[in-house]
Structure 1
């Protein structure tokens, strides 16, 4: 991080009560066996594409370096630390959502699609990484 210059890394410890709650009891699956979650960040105030490219490439370099220390096959993500690099919905299809939905929700993705289909079948409430409803 010192070599890169402007990136930050925050680790939130897990364990304790988190390990006692089954990963299927809530949409949040990152529980037993996870030591912490990591948030990568980079900030800047200087305008311009060059600064933006410099700062985002630093964040990507740190993310790549950390690969050896984090969950694998697949690498997981935490929804509140949004990462559009893992995919975005183009048509809010089941397949679009599965790409990022399984990273965020693991085995709970299917159940969340079923809930979305029952509660918001027309997909009124959506964003670029929202759970899509099933289409008939």
Structure 2
């Protein structure tokens, strides 16, 4: 952290009451067995390209170092802390969305897709990692 001057880490501890809430009781499944959530952040005001390269390189170095301390197989993520490295949508197909969607929602992904069909059947509300509508090919 000292070598990478602008990178910040925020660790939110889990456990306690969170362990008692069944993962299916809300869209957020990352409860029991998770010790904390890590948020990586970096901010800078210098608009030149060299600064962009310098600071994004620092952020990648810290992220790479911290990887040894996080869940694996599959890697998990929290939707409000997007991680494009786990996948993103180009067509918003179910198959494409399942790749990153299961990292965010785990066993709740299909339930979230079912809600999407009712609330937003035309997929108007979307971003690079939004819940996709269900295609004709279901898993």
Q: TM-score range by the shorter chain?
A: over 0.9
**1:18 has 2:18 as partner:** yes
Q: Secondary structure at the match of 1:123?
A: coil
Runs of 4+ in 1 over 3 A off after TM superposition: none
**1:123 has 2:117 as partner:** no
Q: Secondary structure at the match of 1:96?
A: helix
Distance in 2 of aligned mates of 1:35 and 1:47 = 37
Counterpart in the other structure of 2:8: 8
TM-superposed deviation, 1:84: 2.0
Within 5 Å, give how 1:20-99 maps onto structure 2.
20-99=20-99
Counterpart in the other structure of 1:107: 107
The Cα RMSD (Å) is: 1.2
Distance in 2 of aligned mates of 1:43 and 1:25 = 35
Distance in 2 of aligned mates of 1:53 and 1:87 = 22
TM-superposed deviation, 1:48: 1.6
Task: State TM-score, norm by structure 2.
Answer: 0.92
Map Cα deviations across residues 24-60 of structure 1 (whole Å, 9 max, x no partner): 1111011011111000001100012221121112111
TM-superposed deviation, 1:67: 1.3
TM-superposed deviation, 1:86: 2.0
Distance in 2 of aligned mates of 1:28 and 1:109 = 10
TM-superposed deviation, 1:79: 0.8
Q: Secondary structure at the match of 1:8?
A: strand
Unmatched segments (≥5 aa) in structure 1: none
Task: State TM-score, norm by structure 1.
Answer: 0.94
